[in-house]
A and B are shown apart, each in its own frame.
Chain A
């Protein structure tokens, strides 16, 4: 296991943290950086990295939790389809996320059939075993959207269709960069999404906004090293894309997967829960695939649900501000009290990639001293 020390070595961690402090000091003011990946937040919280960050470095989790940014009306569509008798298959966390008037779990309690799957391939197997209409509620970013695309291209059973709530990350970075009160000066991009898209996709973004992007892996030292790189780029006013995860990420990415993605999906504008309308942020099926598009196959009567107002508690949820980087779970009066993983009020407390859930699990901003240096 000698090699692991490369990722966990406490001496290198200390050296990186010191370099990070120096670089941030050189900038001479507060620096805010954003990452857009639940797994990055998991690693930052789990290893207590925040307490190793210099005081003037602010690392914000942006809209990187696919469950959290699925909008209420999208969940409502799935709930209505379930109530109309379709069998809904979806990824685990989606079942508990509240829509306008309830979650899929609520629909299930009222008699609807909901199946949790780890892969869309399992949903296809389900459809083969039944004559019921099976609708796959397809959520997640490009990493799961490519799987949906592959399944559609390979051909699906007649009783199978897709309700796409897939989202595409690059456009939301544009929105965050353009927010008038944004403080974000650089982005940490998720290694595995970039495995698909390639790091080259960030070049136009960097050129447009003059903000650096660093592609990072998920080990503590990966993240520290990538943040150091970002701060250096901010300090030197040298916006660029830097790939710090070359083991997994190439400039072109996975061309085969990209080709399938765009053969099946087209980007359209749509709301990301709590954040904003994101131009080109949603992935919808192209016209050629109308036959497997649940939105065109069924009439989905959402109006029936919208007579119910969201609960008073839900109206206090600030997930949106957290994902936009202008608040943290500590700013939410419900955090850890009325809102906990067992009875979540907002989507950010449901998903293992949601900021509130992660902070709750690992104790908010835990102390680095106890956890970073186990070796």
Chain B
């Protein structure tokens, strides 16, 4: 529950955003981030809330870390399962890309 997961902001309306997590789109609330978030930004999300806008220079490395984690993990991997949980359940699904 404390890992969080990065995603790409594809749509912003006031206090929430549609965020794309490797093809899965979720509505994520923006109440908690401490700087404005715009389409094209990456945010770190936790339990359906963006908790940080990822600085552009850190995006690539952050995504790669998570991709590696998800790629090499088998079904029983606890870390990957927590990350998938975050992706799977951030909020109501907004459909697939």
A147 proximity list for chain B (CB < 8 A): 29, 32, 46-49
Supply 9 further A-B pairs (C-beta < 8 A) apart from A42-B78, A195-B44, A358-B78. A6-B61, A7-B68, A8-B68, A46-B78, A92-B85, A122-B92, A154-B31, A193-B2, A254-B33
Nearest A residue to B52 via CB reads: A195
Known: A255-B34, A260-B32. A117 touches B49 (CB 8 A): no
Contact B31 A141 (CB under 8 A): no
Q: Are B65 and A143 in contact (CB under 8 A)?
A: no
* Chain B interface residue count, Cβ-Cβ cutoff 8 angstroms: 41
What residues of chain B lie closer than 8 Å to A117, measured between beta carbons? 89
Q: A37-B2, A144-B1, A257-B51 are in contact. Are A1 and B68 (CB under 8 A)?
A: yes
Interface size of A as a range? 35 or more
Question: Are the CB atoms of B32 and A43 closer together than 8 Å?
Answer: no
Q: Are A195 and B51 in contact (CB under 8 A)?
A: yes
**Residues on B close to A: CB < 8 A?**
1-4, 15, 27, 29, 31-34, 44, 46-49, 51-52, 55, 58, 60-62, 64-65, 67-68, 72, 76-79, 81-82, 85-86, 88-92
Find out whether the CB atom of B15 lies under 8 angstroms from the CB atom of A119.
no
Contacts of B65 in A (CB 8 A): 4, 7, 219
- 9 example contacts (A-B, Cβ-Cβ < 8 A) are as follows A118-B89, A140-B1, A141-B2, A147-B48, A154-B31, A195-B52, A254-B34, A353-B1, A357-B78
Q: Does A104 contact B (CB under 8 A)?
A: no
Chain A contacts with B in 332-374, Cβ cutoff 8 A: 352-353, 357-358, 361, 374
The number of A-B residue pairs with CB atoms under 8 Å apart is: 137
CB distance from A125 to the nearest CB of B (A): 7
With A7-B65, A146-B32, A150-B32 already in contact, the answer to whether A118 and B82 are too (CB < 8 A) is: no
- Chain A positions 188 through 199: 1 when the CB is less than 8 Å from some CB of chain B, otherwise 0: 001011011000
Tell me if A265 is interfacial: C-beta within 8 Å of chain B. no
Q: Which chain A residue lies CB-closest to B34?
A: A256
Q: Known contacts A121-B29, A154-B15, A247-B62: does B34 contact A190 (CB below 8 Å)?
A: no
Tell me which residues across on chain A come within 8 A of B85, comparing CB atoms: 92, 118
Tell me the complex Cα distance, A7–B77, Å.
Answer: 19
Smallest CB separation, A189 vs chain B (Å): 11
Cβ A256 vs Cβ B32 within 8 A: yes
- Partner of B31 from the list A150, A247, A248 (CB cut-off 8 Å) is A150
B90 to chain A, nearest CB (A): 6
Q: Which of B46, B60, B92 contacts A143 (CB 8 A)?
A: B46
Distance A248 CA – B89 CA, assembled complex (angstroms)? 23
B residues less than 8 Å from A8 (CB atoms): 68
Bound together, the chains give a CA A248 to CA B45 distance in angstroms of 12
